[in-house]
Amino acid sequence: MKFSTRLLTKGRVAVLVILAILLIDQAIKIWVKTSMTLHESIHITDWFYIAFIENNGMAFGMQLGSKIILSLFRVVAIGILGYYIWQQVQRQAKTGYIILLSMVLAGAAGNLIDCMFYGLIFNASSPYYLSYFVPFGTGYAPILMGKVVDMFYFPLIESDWPQWVPFVGGDHFIFFSPVFNFADSCISVSVVWLLLFYRKEISTISLSKNPKQSEEQEVKES
């Protein structure tokens, strides 16, 4: 037990989590991009599809300002979060807390990889042909301007609004309609768990090098 504890330090656990998520995320995205045409959909069940889309925005296809600003924001956010995780490792924070933070970082980094490199190494996606690797720098977009690949679609409820409902009566609606990727799901799941189980840690977030509380406190792993 002592050997395994020394081998799997909190820092190494964080690195392993980040690498594992990045590998899974990129493997799925590359398979989808090179095996499916744009907007192609594979029926798994009535409530789950693999649907290939691309977006310029944030998680679940949301948009926020220009593409270059969003990409630069991701770079800065990942750097800050990486520094904060390093702080928590040095302070021997709870392993669960470090793992969840690492999941957020890995998810953000996974989508950043799409933005940074996919436009450089792939041709443009199309409904009519499969995408493929191209010589570096000859792809469909410059660095930081690539599109994020999404594929998980869960239309759990699909119906029409009753005619008597104001404004939307008779319209078709789908719950849950966003299409997302593995990186998005890692971010969402980890944020929910952080809010549910680590509110105390979140409330004391600081990038200060010498916070008063965390230094002396050695928290046991749950």
Phi, psi of 184 (to 5 degrees): -60, -45
Paired residues of 180 in beta bridges: 152
| Burial label, 63 (beta-carbon count in 10 A; 0-12, 13-18, 19+) | exposed
CA separation for the pair 10, 91 (Å, rounded): 10
Q: Which residue has the higher pLDDT, 167 or 15?
A: 15
- Tell me the per-residue pLDDT of 59-84, one tens digit each, with 9 for 90 and over: 555 555 577 888 888 899 999 999 99
Q: Which helix (H) or strand (E) holds 215?
A: none
pTM: predicted TM-score of the whole model, two decimal places: 0.84
Give me the residue spans of the domains in the chain.
9-203
Q: Please give the Cα distance from 169 to 52 (Å, whole number).
A: 30
- Token pair for residue 111? 């989508």
CB under 8 A, 24+ apart: contacts of 133-142: 133/34
Residue 62 has a pLDDT of 55
Residue given tokens 């504890």 in the structure block: 5
Distance CA 30, CA 132 (A): 9
55 close to 140: Cβ distance less than 8 angstroms: no
Cis peptide before 176 (omega within 30 of 0): yes
- 184 is annotated as an active-site residue: yes
Please compute the mean of the pLDDT values over residues 84-106 and round it to a whole number. 96
Determine which of 23-27, 117-121, 175-179, 199-203 has the lowest per-residue pLDDT on average: 175-179
Catalytic-labelled residue, pool 46, 114, 160, 184 = 184
- Reduce the DSSP state of residue 115 to 3 states and report it: helix
> Around 22, how many Cα atoms within 13 Å sit in the side-chain half-sphere?
15
Q: Which uninterrupted H or E stretch holds 25?
A: helix 10-35
pLDDT at 65: 58
Chain centroid to CA 71: how far? 13
Cα–Cα distances in Å, from 63 out to 56, 179, 185?
A: 7, 13, 17
User: How confident is the model over 30-61, as pLDDT tens digits?
Assistant: 999 999 999 999 999 989 999 999 988 655 55
